């Protein structure tokens, strides 16, 4: 059963405020995933490691003007946008469900995945540094 929209609004806003686009339907997921270029997908969550580590790390990277960003940065919300999340997980079907998590695609191919167990226990700055390194590696001109 989905969480109360009032409960999760701040968790959604935390990403949307820095330009992350929410995907609310399976059709929106398919449209984004069909595009060439680079796409970062955040599987958002209500858990503590999303609040203390994953979302702050995404914010740090998105707010850093010196970091080249993927063509698209989007999110689905596990436990809330059930159909959109399930559709996205079809694109990474051989990876066990994990939320929060972060995936990066280049020309529709998965090139990086950060599952919950690699988010837990780290601080947001360390995650932001890792994401910055991934962007530098895969977004080089």
- Point out the residues that are catalytic: 47, 49
- Residues 6+ away with beta carbon under 8 Å from 120: 49, 53
Q: Packing angle between helix 55-63 and helix 124-138, nearest 10 degrees? A: 50
CA dihedral 19, 21, 22, 28 (to 10 degrees): 180
Is the preceding peptide bond at 100 cis, omega within 30 degrees of 0? Answer: yes
What separation in angstroms does the CA of 18 have from each of 27, 73, 120?
A: 23, 10, 22
Q: DSSP assignment, residue 70? A: P
């Amino acid at each position: 059963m989905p969480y109360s929209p009032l409960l999760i609004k701040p968790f959604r806003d935390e990403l949307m405020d820095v330009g992350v686009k929410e995907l609310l339907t399976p059709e929106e997921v398919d449209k984004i995933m069909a595009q060439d270029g680079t796409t970062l997908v955040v599987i958002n969550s209500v858990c503590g490691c999303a609040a203390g580590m994953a979302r702050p790390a995404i914010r740090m990277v998105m707010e850093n003007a010196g970091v080249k960003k993927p063509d698209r940065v989007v999110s689905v919300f596990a436990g809330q946008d059930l159909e959109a999340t399930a559709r996205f997980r079809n694109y990474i079907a051989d990876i066990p469900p994990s939320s929060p998590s972060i995936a990066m695609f280049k020309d529709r191919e998965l090139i990086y995945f950060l599952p919950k167990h690699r988010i837990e226990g780290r601080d947001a700055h360390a995650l932001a540094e890792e994401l910055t390194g991934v962007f530098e590696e895969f977004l080089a001109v």
